[in-house]
Amino acid sequence: MRREAKANAAAWLEKTRWCTNGCGKEAARYDDSPGHALRYSGACSPECEEAVEQRKTQNAKSEPTAPLLAQVGSTDGLGAAVSPAPTFEKTKC
């Protein structure tokens, strides 16, 4: 159990080793904290943390907001809604 926790911590340290902004630097940590907590949410500096946050919000905005399912469901009634073609045969003189 204890060994497993240590392995998990090592895996986490390896996973979070590099700046999440992809700048190539190692992520900043609180050296005095026992868990080596990430200082800037996994980034190396406040600048990189901000860049990552901005990218996150941009991604959230670019996602499609209106689901297409509503349009698909409404096509079922279209056939019945079409009125029959008008006939002009009887109005001929």
Residue 31 C-alpha from the chain's centroid = 31
3-state secondary structure of 20: coil
Task: Work out whether 23 is an interface residue with Zn ion (CB under 5 A).
Answer: yes
Specify the residue for token string 């073609």.
85
Say how far apart CA 18 and CA 16 lie, in whole Å: 6
Residue 20: Cβ within 10 Å count: 20
Closer CB to Zn ion, 21 or 29, in the complex: 21
Q: Which is nearer to Zn ion, 11 or 26 (CB)?
A: 26
| Cβ 51 to Zn ion shortest distance, Å | 8
C-beta of 7 vs 22, nearer to Zn ion: 22
Three-state SS at 86: coil
Site pattern 29..48 for Zn ion (x: CB under 5 A):
---------------x---x
Contacting residues toward Zn ion, per CB under 5 A: 19, 21, 23, 25, 44, 48
